[in-house]
Structure 1
Amino acid sequence: MLQKTHSIAGIVAVETVIMHYHQPLLSWESGAALLIGCLAGPLADVDKKGSTMAKIFLPISFILQLLRVKHRTFTHSLFFLAGLAALLTPLPLFFFWSFLLAYASHPLIDMFNEQGIALFWPWKKKFRLLPSIFSIKTGSNAEDSFRLVLLVVMVMLPIFYMLPEGIL
């Protein structure tokens, strides 16, 4: 999936955290969390040479290249997610879950791609959620449609969140 798809998925993940913690949408905490989601969503692609995340976090990308980490392996794995969770434990729970779920949205939606991900790295087997025939190819019309659905969800979640109770 493309960075813009991952960014939108990261924002949707953070919106669910905002709703769970009953955080006002118009607060610095929510604004910071949404920014975190926009950046953490595509962050797993730091392992892909030439990606936006690899350019932004060049030292990390360089180290991953030196270690010969292949795309959609280590940074897309549950092992990495667990390590990331351990590193994030000093954060307040609201920001901990905002970052972690936004990051986790990345490998989740990459499993809709035909290539899948090495979810249980270092085991090399790649996992995907859809059979090849229904998979979403990166940059395809199917990804555009998927991103549009995410965009609608991203816009609708805050609207439903701000509605007074009992309206729906």
Structure 2
Amino acid sequence: MTTTTHQRAGLVFGVVTQQYLIAHLYSHANAASQLFIITLYCTATIIGSTLPDIDLKNSQIGSLFPVTSTFISTHFKHRTLTHSLLSIFLFLLLLSYAPYLNIGQDFYTLLITGLLVEHSSHIFLDLLTTQGVCLFYPWKKKIRIANFKTGAKGEGVINGILFLTLFTYLLIKLSPYYE
């Protein structure tokens, strides 16, 4: 999938999952704080949606972190470590440290949760492509569950579904404000 598709999925999953995963962080906050927290979470999801492609030096995220990207791409092939359940486990491990932080525990939880959700969505979307991913890395067998070609018409359909999902969700969520 292209960066645009991953970022759109990041926004969709961020908007939809925020009420289930981070609502407890802002349930008693004023409206401005709630908007800030939701925006921060959605930003983390958009960043997380491109994070697995850090194993490509010419990717958007790879160009932002060239040293890290070069190191990862030198030691691991594309769609192996960064596109595996092992990478998701590493995010869960990071998330488990939140209770031990003395400052910024909620902020840390918010960011790591956003990155984790979208890192996972990126891997899922790449499972839909003909290239597949090494889901069980270090086992090098690539797994795929569909045959969409990156940048082809099928991906356009996925993009359209993501857009309609976001539009419908926002329409439903905002409808009580217009009654």
TM-score (norm 1): 0.86
Matches of 1:43 and 1:94, distance apart in 2: 16
Matches of 1:66 and 1:43, distance apart in 2: 17
How big is the shift at 1:88?
3.2
Matches of 1:108 and 1:35, distance apart in 2: 19
Report what 1:143 is aligned to: 155
Amino acid at match of 1:150: L
Matches of 2:117 and 2:173, distance apart in 1: 19
Are 1:125 and 2:132 an aligned pair? Answer: no
Matches within 5 A, 1:100-111: 100-111=116-127
Higher helix share: 2
Q: Which of structures 1 and 2 has the bigger CA Rg?
A: 2
Matches of 2:62 and 2:126, distance apart in 1: 17
Report what 1:84 is aligned to: 91
Instruction: Assess if the C-alpha contact under 8 Å between 1:47 and 1:64 holds in 2.
Output: yes
Report what 1:32 is aligned to: 40
**Residue from 41, 59, 77 that aligns with 2:49:** 41
Same amino acid, percent of matched pairs: 27
Aligned length, in residue pairs:
161
Matches of 1:98 and 1:159, distance apart in 2: 23
How big is the shift at 1:94?
4.2
Amino acid at match of 1:18: Q
Structure 1 unmatched ranges of 5 or more: none
Structure 2 unmatched ranges of 5 or more: 99-104
Does the residue aligned with 1:116 lie in a helix, a strand or coil? coil
Q: How far does the alpha carbon of each residue in 1:112-135 deviate from its partner, in whole angstroms, 9 at most, with x for none?
A: 0011100000000111112xxxx1
Amino acid at match of 2:67: P
